Structure 1
Amino acid sequence: MSQNIKVIPLGGLRENGKNMYAVEVDDEIFILDCGLKYPENELLGIDVVIPDFSYLEENIDKIVGVFLTHGHADAIGALPYFLKSRDIPVFGSKLTIELAKINTERDPLSKKFNDFHVVDEKTAIDFENATVSFFKTTHSIPGSFGISIKTELGNIVYTGDFKFDQSATPMYQTDFARLTQIGAQGVILLLSDSANAESARPSVNELEIGRYVEETFKYHNGRIIVASVASNIARIQQVFDAAYRTGRKVVLTGRDLERIIRTAMRLDYLKIESDDILVPIKDMAKYDDDQLVILETGRMGEPLKALQKMAQKRNRSIHIHENDLVFITTTPSYAMETNVARTKDMIYRAGGEVKSISDDLHASGHANKNELQLMINLLNPKYLMPIQGEYRLMDAHAEIAHETGLPFKNIFLAQNGDVLSVEAEGVHLGTAVDSGNVMIDGSGVGDIGNIVLRDRKVLSEDGIFVAVVTIDRKNKKIVAKPKVITRGFVYIKANRDLMAESIDIVANTIQNNLDHKEFDWSTLKQDLREDLGHFLYEQTHRHPVILPVIMEINQNKLRSQSRKHPTNTSN
């Protein structure tokens, strides 16, 4: 009897980031990556988005481990939320595990977790129903792996984020021999990175990027603020090298960044030519502007908000001023373009200027069309599921795969929650499981849903309108004239007539309910929202959030109390 195998994407499909895939072999579940994604523009106030763990929570006893491909947030960022109060072993390369530890220690509920296991490209872990092994890949961080799960029906291979760079140093080199070996064993299903699938242009190699960074440092006569992702170790190494060769000092802006860099240095993944190249932020004033490079990665490795604070002079230590160059060394996703444009505008208003690597070079940590086809040819999979990218990128990946000879019927453009059943006869879609986004806002996990986001969107666009009324329900009358308050809707002084008419509508609606209807709080508030909403839309063509505040008072009781305790008004 053949094994019962399911592959379930819980994140990472039709989106950028939030990678998480469950491979279920009989009664064992193998989790591949546990990442987050940064919010898009419509997710107002949301810090990060993580996968929905519902299916895994229902099958928690089957999980044998979490297997990580690399140390970026899209692969390890959701670990603190998944591991709290759970004892599930986590496997990854030496650097990936160290970064995962830093990540989990930030959260009070996961900081005591310590079931981490370091693996390398030679590691093979035998479980009851499958064997998990790893292979080296090239990405913008050392210790990046792909993962192979060997089953009775063949290997299920997950590439993680990868590209091919023939000039990569040994620390970053892809293990082509191992890929060929896995392909020869037989690959039943390939889960492959699609983030750069639309590009037919080859990415420039890291040597050329290093020269570009050095030239930028050499020819700018002022401070350079480098915006990068904290865990992009390859880029940070290039910044250190360029700073040393151009006689500049590097200032690290946050404890998280410094901890990541110190960890990478301790593990020999990051090297500096001179110990005095790093200077504390408090010593910046000792150096001229043309001697400084400020490395900014922002909270949780996302630098745009930090740059905005610098431009608006809300950063405690660094304000962007004349002749500052903000050097963006990470290519942002399409979803972040609006935010990037807004950030650039703020920087120019503050007197600085902006330069991006992506303006002059095609730099990416993800495989282009030819590299994706090479991966398919090396592994020769029977079936393919494009992952990690918006739908159009996954669709481009499908076209690319078809050009190599893979039939379209063997390519699955799935979505999060779909279940791929792997059987001896082939792979097919099964019954989907619950899957979605869990939004993190401050310390709240999952308490922000579509209704809250809708209200935030309305508040941001049309504001709020509050109606305050005190009623005497027993005597069926309004005790005092209603008050209306608005924020973000209209300018009150210029709309006194509108406010006065709104007060009349509030009074009439309340009195009508008191006189003619069986009293019900929810009906009263709903009528007030509808009547006021219709009027305000007729006058302004806007839909503010209407918040009725209705208080009840018993005047007979108050009169009785006032007779017992008369008020002394004498001086």
Structure 2
Amino acid sequence: MKIMPLGGVRENGKNMYVVEVDDEIYILDCGLMYPENELLGIDVVIPDFSYLEKNIDRVVGIFLTHGHADAIGALNYFVKQHSVPVFGSALTIALAKLNVKADSKTKRFNDFHVIDKDTTIDFKHASVSFFKTTHSIPDSLGIVIKTNVGSVVYTGDFKFDQSATPEYQSDFARLAQIGQDHVLALLSDSANAESPYKMASERDIGSSILDTFQYHDGRIIVASVASNIARIQQVINAAAKSGRKVILTGRDLEKIIRTAMRLKRLALPTPDILVPLKEMRRLAPEKTVILETGKMGEPIKALQKMATNRHRSIRIKSGDLVYITTTPSHAMETTVAKTKDMIYRAGAEVKAVSDDIHASGHGNKDDLQLMLNLIKPTYLIPIQGEYRLLAAHAKIAHEMGMPYENIFITSKGDVLDYHKNQMHLANQVDVGNTMIDGIGVGDIGNIVLRDRKMLSEDGIFVAVITINRKKRMIVSHPQITTRGFVYIKTSHDLIRESAKLVTKTVQNNLDNKEFDWSHLKQDIREALSSFLFEQTRRRPVILPVIMEVNQNRRRTASKS
């Protein structure tokens, strides 16, 4: 048996784990990650499928735990290339279908299989079964892969909430039953492992939202993740009890809500609680709740557009309350702080659920200890979180008596091999990140990102010059253009000296008997780079454009 994370370790999101049993490969989740600030222009990041592509004939299926983007968001990119069976609960499969059908290249894919907590699927070397977990979306399931050397248990995202409603309740009896059988390895959620606080129950969160709605007199704009069905249900319930109507801002959100309603995972307190966006003007501010989830389910950028009057239909104004019901990850804290500042500048107030209570869809220290006590694994593999969170989870397990040699804090591509009754770290497979930019999949690499970073920091410097190579002369003097480097009108001396330097460098190359285009361009770059850094302490991207006049054919060619 081998266990291999392709994502979801030492990072937030992008869950994808591989379990190999003899010649069969089981894929657990297929999620994406939203980019951090240094990934300039990148829309989303998905796992590297290279290893799976080389072994696709061994893949028996993809098993999904829940319907959030960190578990299902990359599915359409995978099935675009490879048609393999996909298994998940009713709501998870319905949301996965929305993703897959929205892509023109995968809309014909239909190898979906709905399972539930009572399902067991037998394969050649293992059987796969499931158990109910509590998360911020209904129909969340953990996964058990049972083999002849023990079981591998994958929790997915989970927490324990004793007051959860039936559709969100964890199945404690089933967890205890799994623990009675030999559990070889537990892949357990670590996203909230650092938190020492008791997590608020969903009932407490619902009461807090209702209090906020009742005590604010103006319009309320709620920011939430689109697939956080529990939070959306609480917002709709609170709106009904406070005499407000709910306006949905996007088609994606509407599709998710309609899907959850069709499967009876979300209920409307009154038939007329949802109002179309086009009818917003007829509602009084004190009767209005705007539910904003943003593009791809992330609401923060949408709030920024509202605050700066760039949103297509809504502008934040004085008297509004912006209510953030999503608890941001640590990586997003700076972005959220800047967004709050923009909102205050627009004249509105900001409040977050996390200001009053500790709300999370992930288990804290007590929950992680309870999961370990119920499952009783021989080995623990902390997943879903940055390194410090994985390390905190390892410490929690060690405090319970698990030796550190039985705890594996892995990196992407690490291979854990169970051989001769012992789990050990084997060779790594080469795994990176696949970045999505527009319609491009994986065509943006580190070099492109480095250039984007340089452009964002020091700008671009373009030098255009025309030469006659036959006569070994410069036809026209250099034309200098910059963007994001210096303001040309106030930098005449710098531009003039740069042009002289380009002229000198080009003429030196023309005088050389062994003229070479690549040497000429490189010489210009090096000369300008040294000069500009000496003068400004900046390093712009330098782009030399060399125009060649060919008098015989009366045409001009360019080399850049």
TM-score band (shorter)?
over 0.9
Q: What one-letter code is carried by the residue in structure 2 that aligns with 1:173?
A: Q
Residue 3 of structure 2 is aligned with which of 2, 7, 11? Answer: 7
C-alpha distance in structure 1 between counterparts of 2:463 and 2:354, whole Å: 51
| Cα drift, residue 129 of structure 1 | 0.5
Residue 463 of structure 1 is aligned with which of 434, 459, 464? Answer: 459
Q: What one-letter code is carried by the residue in structure 1 that aligns with 2:551?
A: Q
Contact persistence 1:138–1:165 (CA under 8 A) = yes
Partner of 1:539: 535
1:183 aligns with 2:182: no
Query: What whole-Å deviation, never above 9, does each CA across 1:396-452 have from its counterpart, x for those lacking one?
Result: 000000011110000001101000012342111111112111000011000111111
Q: What one-letter code is carried by the residue in structure 2 that aligns with 1:52?
A: D
Q: What one-letter code is carried by the residue in structure 2 that aligns with 1:244?
A: A
**3-state DSSP class of the match of 1:14?**
coil
**3-state DSSP class of the match of 1:21?**
strand
1:192 aligns with 2:188: yes
Residue 280 of structure 1 is aligned with which of 273, 276, 280? Answer: 276
Query: What whole-Å deviation, never above 9, does each CA across 1:149-194 have from its counterpart, x for those lacking one?
Result: 0001000000000000000011000001111111111100110000
C-alpha distance in structure 2 between counterparts of 1:87 and 1:80, whole Å: 10
Partner of 1:105: 101
**3-state DSSP class of the match of 1:109?**
coil
Partner of 2:378: 382
Query: What whole-Å deviation, never above 9, does each CA across 1:79-112 have from its counterpart, x for those lacking one?
Result: 0100114220100000000000001112111111
For residues 468 and 244 of structure 1, do their structure 2 counterparts lie closer, same or farther at Cα, with a shift above 3 Å needed?
A: same
Q: What one-letter code is carried by the residue in structure 2 that aligns with 1:536?
A: L
1:62 aligns with 2:58: yes
Counterpart mapping for 1:17-416 below 5 A? 17-416=13-412
C-alpha distance in structure 1 between counterparts of 2:211 and 2:96, whole Å: 34
Q: What one-letter code is carried by the residue in structure 1 that aligns with 2:209?
A: V
Q: What one-letter code is carried by the residue in structure 1 that aligns with 2:524?
A: L
Identity of aligned residues (%): 69
Q: What one-letter code is carried by the residue in structure 2 that aligns with 1:279?
A: V
| Cα drift, residue 472 of structure 1 | 0.8
| Cα drift, residue 516 of structure 1 | 2.5
C-alpha distance in structure 1 between counterparts of 2:141 and 2:553, whole Å: 75
Partner of 2:558: none
| Cα drift, residue 223 of structure 1 | 1.0
| Cα drift, residue 249 of structure 1 | 0.5
Partner of 2:470: 474
**3-state DSSP class of the match of 2:236?**
helix
The number of aligned residues is 555
Structure 2: gaps (5+ residues): 556-560
**3-state DSSP class of the match of 2:138?**
coil
**3-state DSSP class of the match of 1:427?**
strand
Q: What one-letter code is carried by the residue in structure 1 that aligns with 2:471?
A: N
TM-score (norm 1): 0.96
Contact persistence 1:36–1:73 (CA under 8 A) = yes
Q: What one-letter code is carried by the residue in structure 1 that aligns with 2:442?
A: G
Q: What one-letter code is carried by the residue in structure 2 that aligns with 1:84?
A: K
Q: What one-letter code is carried by the residue in structure 1 that aligns with 2:181?
A: Q
Partner of 1:564: none
Query: What whole-Å deviation, never above 9, does each CA across 1:103-142 have from its counterpart, x for those lacking one?
Result: 1112111111111000000000000000000000000000
Partner of 1:563: none
| Cα drift, residue 12 of structure 1 | 0.2
Contact persistence 1:153–1:424 (CA under 8 A) = no
Partner of 1:485: 481
C-alpha distance in structure 1 between counterparts of 2:526 and 2:539, whole Å: 11
Partner of 2:516: 520
| Cα drift, residue 339 of structure 1 | 1.2
Query: What whole-Å deviation, never above 9, does each CA across 1:171-219 have from its counterpart, x for those lacking one?
Result: 0000011111111111001100000000111100011100100011111
**3-state DSSP class of the match of 1:480?**
strand
Query: What whole-Å deviation, never above 9, does each CA across 1:445-492 have from its counterpart, x for those lacking one?
Result: 001111111111111111110011111111111110110100111111
| Cα drift, residue 555 of structure 1 | 3.2
Counterpart mapping for 1:417-496 below 5 A? 417-496=413-492
Contact persistence 1:85–1:109 (CA under 8 A) = no
Q: What one-letter code is carried by the residue in structure 1 that aligns with 2:427?
A: T
C-alpha distance in structure 1 between counterparts of 2:107 and 2:513, whole Å: 57
Q: What one-letter code is carried by the residue in structure 2 that aligns with 1:106?
A: A
RMSD (Å), alpha carbons: 1.0
C-alpha distance in structure 2 between counterparts of 1:518 and 1:358, whole Å: 69
Q: What one-letter code is carried by the residue in structure 2 that aligns with 1:369?
A: K
Q: What one-letter code is carried by the residue in structure 1 that aligns with 2:243?
A: G
C-alpha distance in structure 2 between counterparts of 1:205 and 1:222, whole Å: 28
1:507 aligns with 2:503: yes
C-alpha distance in structure 2 between counterparts of 1:178 and 1:491, whole Å: 68
C-alpha distance in structure 2 between counterparts of 1:177 and 1:402, whole Å: 25
C-alpha distance in structure 2 between counterparts of 1:540 and 1:312, whole Å: 33
C-alpha distance in structure 2 between counterparts of 1:535 and 1:232, whole Å: 54
TM-score (norm 2): 0.98
**3-state DSSP class of the match of 1:326?**
strand
**3-state DSSP class of the match of 2:5?**
strand
C-alpha distance in structure 2 between counterparts of 1:366 and 1:316, whole Å: 34
C-alpha distance in structure 2 between counterparts of 1:557 and 1:427, whole Å: 72
Q: What one-letter code is carried by the residue in structure 2 that aligns with 1:298?
A: G
Contact persistence 1:153–1:423 (CA under 8 A) = no
Structure 1: gaps (5+ residues): 560-571
Partner of 1:569: none
Query: What whole-Å deviation, never above 9, does each CA across 1:250-282 have from its counterpart, x for those lacking one?
Result: 000110100000010111110111111100000
Query: What whole-Å deviation, never above 9, does each CA across 1:286-330 have from its counterpart, x for those lacking one?
Result: 011111100000111011111111111111210111111111001
Contact persistence 1:146–1:158 (CA under 8 A) = yes
C-alpha distance in structure 2 between counterparts of 1:513 and 1:346, whole Å: 53
C-alpha distance in structure 2 between counterparts of 1:366 and 1:517, whole Å: 70
C-alpha distance in structure 1 between counterparts of 2:508 and 2:343, whole Å: 56
| Cα drift, residue 518 of structure 1 | 1.4
| Cα drift, residue 556 of structure 1 | 5.0
Runs of 4+ in structure 1 displaced over 2 angstroms? 555-559
| Cα drift, residue 557 of structure 1 | 4.6
Partner of 1:565: none
Contact persistence 1:137–1:163 (CA under 8 A) = yes
| Cα drift, residue 358 of structure 1 | 1.2
Once the two structures are overlaid, the 10-residue window that deviates more, 513-522 or 46-55, is 513-522
Q: What one-letter code is carried by the residue in structure 2 that aligns with 1:180?
A: A
Q: What one-letter code is carried by the residue in structure 1 that aligns with 2:138?
A: P
